[in-house]
Every structure is written in structure tokens, then in C-alpha cells.
Homo-oligomer: A and B are copies of this chain.
């Protein structure tokens, strides 16, 4: 492709409103342009990269036995009402009516396609003989982002590969889950991404049934807890801690202050109480009243910690756990919201390990406008047991190897999830098993953000001069630069080289612009095509081309006549190198 005939509007300046490197570089290198907040046009270079990533995703999904189809973005809202996701998505779900004759038809734009695909299978699967089946599509998703940001990392419209598996039993589900997991590792490796599969919160089907694929990146919006000792990695929602259970028997009673009730009018938050009573949050006990299935339970965590609902749910072996509503809290504590405490509370109480270590704690007094100080376990209250019930914090020990864990930021590019029967129950997708018993189909879902693959590469593979593409996703393999397009000999040599490379199947961009060499070199670094071939100047006089990888400091001089074959060899070697790290 000749630069003059395509459309690569590079920019010298860093755009003022672009906060992160990927956004800045994708704008500057002419990969994307914003149409409005949350919606971007992919310009030719950007689109070529997307299409290469898309092709890799498709190849690996096909190889993993998933079958491609294509579902519409327009969806009837009633399917989302049947699964409860209309409410769950809230403002994120783009909903509207269209007028057809006198009727208003309520529609939405698919944020994903669990509903549509499950409804399809509900109509067509009737026997265990038709299963297992995994289908996928590469299709545009719509989600209203309250705050679109970071360029194409967080938009209201994005290209997603979404796959859905349908199985008769958990073994079948396990098998496809592992297949998808392996396919994802291959996809992200082939795309040249450093990635980390992290354990993620899963549904009631349990087990390590959900993994997110994260690209570690300083500007990532997700937080990952990672143990460099043993490799354990989980997202914040899921991460366990390696803390040992403390003793909850009465310890040394010396130095314990007396239990005292203090007036704390209208002071309900940890922050307010901490300020009023001049105590640190870590000396306070937060008392949370949960509705766990049909039971009400109190959960204690330290004032500076966040309770983790997944851990609470698992500890209580409950199907669903949510904070109790106001009237329930008032009923069980006898006080308005904000004054709950464990002293005298007539509920099952479980506490995070760290809670019982607090001496002379501050808690609510189960009375309006009152808090206790000098609260101590055993003497003043007791708990059924302690457990790991809070989000991990910096410095926590690893649950697997006891080393200290780090927090890293990450960009989520993929997610594999054992859904179980959530959607098939709601939408009546059943099958008859070997014994002619009607049962719900068991589902898994598997998503990849195709745009995020490209944005993730831009975010993590660049230097101060611009992008650094892997060959596998690069818009072009080679950039040929004639130094002076008005010099007949330069152009004749460059044109011949360009033609020769194309004949050899090399994807080649030819910078035929009438611009100064400095401008061309700057743009070359900015758009980051892996291999650069320069024709002209002293080199041409000596009969050589200057061949340089984007990351090399200096070019290699290659005789003009053998440049095509040398470039082809170099590309093949690089491709082999890139492939060597791809898992089986």
C-alpha cells in the first residue's frame, strides 16, 4: 500500500485529552479517531491491526471446536426481563422503542448474547445426543458507559468474541472450559501480549470456575493480587489471603478498658466515627447485616477493611448473599442503619480473622446515636467462628505459599466463566438425558475484547517514539522508505523493492510521500511497523538498503539485490521466534 493512497493522519502533538499511552499513541499514529464520547472510528492502520487480531481469535476458536454464527445486536427486551438482566444491567443496557405502524416495540442493543443464544438452543436442543455444542461470534456489543475513557479501552461500542458452551454435565463443561482456557492462552500469546490468567469470582456452581485474562499495565482499571513466589493470581473480588485463623478464646484481660457507651449523634460512617472519637479505623469493628438466602447474619470486619461478599457467601454456603434492607437492619439491631454492633446482638455472627485481634475496639451500640468504646471479644461479645471474609490488602500473605502478595493493575482482555444453569433455567433450555429425564442445559461463556487486544498492545508495547507491534498483529510487516521521492534512481530502486516484497507475499507499506527524511523516520517510529527498509543517500550509492527492526538502534546494510530475500528470511525468523512462546 502506498502511503499517499491510504489514510494515515499522524499527529506530532500529544492530544490534550488522552490520558493513557495507548490512547495517545493510537490517536497520534492515526489508528483511531473519536466520533463522540465512547465511539471511535478505526482508521485504516488501526482496522488492519483489529482484523489481524480477529483472524487469530477465529483460527483458535475454530481449532478448539467452537462453531461460528452471528446474532443480531437488536434484541427484544422481554428476553432480558426473563433472565433478570434488564434490572441487573440498569443504565448500561441501551434500551429504546421503535415505532412500527401504531405499535411501539421495546428493544435493546445486546451487551452480550446469553439471552439470544440460550433462547435459540431452547428451541433446537431436545436431546443429550445434540450436546455438547459450543458456538461463538465476533460481533459488535453495545453498553452505555457512564464515563467512557482511555480511548478504545472503555467505549460504549466494541468488538467482542463471545462464545457459549452447552453441556449435559459438569465433566463436559470442564472439558470445554479447559479447551477455551488453552485457546485463550494461545490467542493472547500469538497476539504478542504479556498476560496473566487470574482467578475470578464465579457463580454458585462453585470451584475455580472463572478466570479473567489480564494484561498487567500501570493504567489498567482492574486490580490483580499476584504472588510472585508461586504465581497465584486472582482479581480483587476473588483473591484469598493466607492468614491463619487466630484464637478466639479469652486472652490476657490486663489492659482492657471497660465497655463504655458514648453519644455519637448522627454519626454513622466509619469515617465520621473515627473523626469524632479520634480513633483509627483499624481499631474499629464494622458490623454488616447480611441476608444470606432466607437467614439474617452479622458479619464483622475491621473498620479499614472491605467485606468480600463472595467469601461471605461461600463461608455461609449460601446461594445468594446481599446486604439486608433498612427495615431488616432496624428490626434485628433495634437501631437505625449505622449503629449496629456485635455487643448483645441476637444473630449468628461471623468475623474476619483480623477482627478478633482488636483490643478495646469501637463499634455501634445497637442504639440510635450511640457507639461503644472498649469493646473486647469474649468479654463483651462472641462470634461463631472467624474466616477470610475481606478483600485482600497490600502485604497480605499468599494463600498457596505464604509469600507476600503484590497488587498489580491490569487490563481485562478475556474472561472464561462456568455459568451453570442460570440462563437455561430462566429461558427453559432443557434436554432429555439418557434416561429420558428432562434437565437444564449447563452453560459456559467465554469472552474476548478484540479492540482491547490492540489497545492492550499499544499500552504495553511502545517506547517514547511510538508503537512497537508484534509481527502477528502489525498493520503491515514492512515499511519501505525512499529517502527522496524526486530522485529517479531512489524511486526506481524503491519501487522495485516494493514490488518484489509484495510478490513475495510481504505486507508492505510504501512511504511515497514527498516529505523530509526526518518526518518519515519520526512517523515510522510512531506507527511502529516491525521492519523498516530505507532506500537512498549514501547507502544507495554503496548499493545497499538499510534494514532495521523497530526496536534496533542501528540498521543492517543489505545489498539491494538481496534485500527482498533477506527481508523474507528475517520476517520468517521473527515469526518463528514469536511462535516459540505459544503454548500448545
Contact = CB atoms under 8 A, between A and B. Distances in A.
Contacts of A50: 70
Contacts of A123: 33
Given A9-B124, A69-B47, A142 B41 contact: no
A72 B144 contact: no
B44 A142 contact: no
B33 A100 contact: no
A157 B145 CA distance: 23
A51 B471 CA distance: 25
Given A33-B120, A99-B91, A147-B100, A44 B68 contact: yes
A172 interface: no
Contacts of A39: 72, 74-75
Contacts of A35: 71-72, 74-76, 116, 119
B73 A47 contact: no
B157 A73 contact: yes
Contacts of A48: 68
A40 interface: yes
B69 A42 contact: yes
A67 interface: yes
A6 interface: yes
A129 to B, nearest CB: 9
A206 B535 CA distance: 47
B96 A96 contact: yes
Given A6-B67, A67-B44, A140-B140, A74 B38 contact: yes
Contacts of A207: none
Interface in A4-30: 5-7, 9
Contacts of A95: 96
Nearest to A70: B42
Given A41-B116, A67-B6, A74-B142, A94 B100 contact: no
A583 interface: no
Contacts of A94: 96, 98
A157 B67 contact: no
A135 B7 contact: yes
Given A41-B116, A98-B144, A72 B157 contact: yes
B43 A74 contact: no
Interface string A438-474: 0000000000000000000000000000000000000
A36 interface: yes
Given A41-B71, A47-B68, A75-B36, A7 B124 contact: yes
A65 interface: yes
A142 B73 CA distance: 9
A109 B110 CA distance: 13
Contacts of A98: 91, 94, 144, 156
A282 to B, nearest CB: 34
Contacts of A74: 35-36, 38-39, 142, 156-157
Interface string A285-296: 000000000000
A65 B2 CA distance: 10
Interface in A90-105: 91, 94-96, 98-101, 105
A40 B72 contact: yes
A157 to B, nearest CB: 5
B7 A69 contact: yes
Contacts of A33: 120, 123
A133 interface: yes
Q: Which 10 residue pairs spanning A and B have beta carbons closest together?
A: A96-B96, A39-B72, A42-B70, A39-B74, A98-B144, A36-B76, A41-B71, A9-B124, A47-B70, A6-B67
8 contacts: A5-B65, A35-B71, A36-B74, A39-B75, A41-B72, A46-B69, A91-B98, A96-B96
Given A41-B69, A74-B142, 13 more contacts: A7-B124, A7-B135, A35-B71, A35-B72, A35-B76, A41-B70, A41-B71, A42-B71, A72-B157, A73-B142, A74-B156, A91-B99, A140-B140
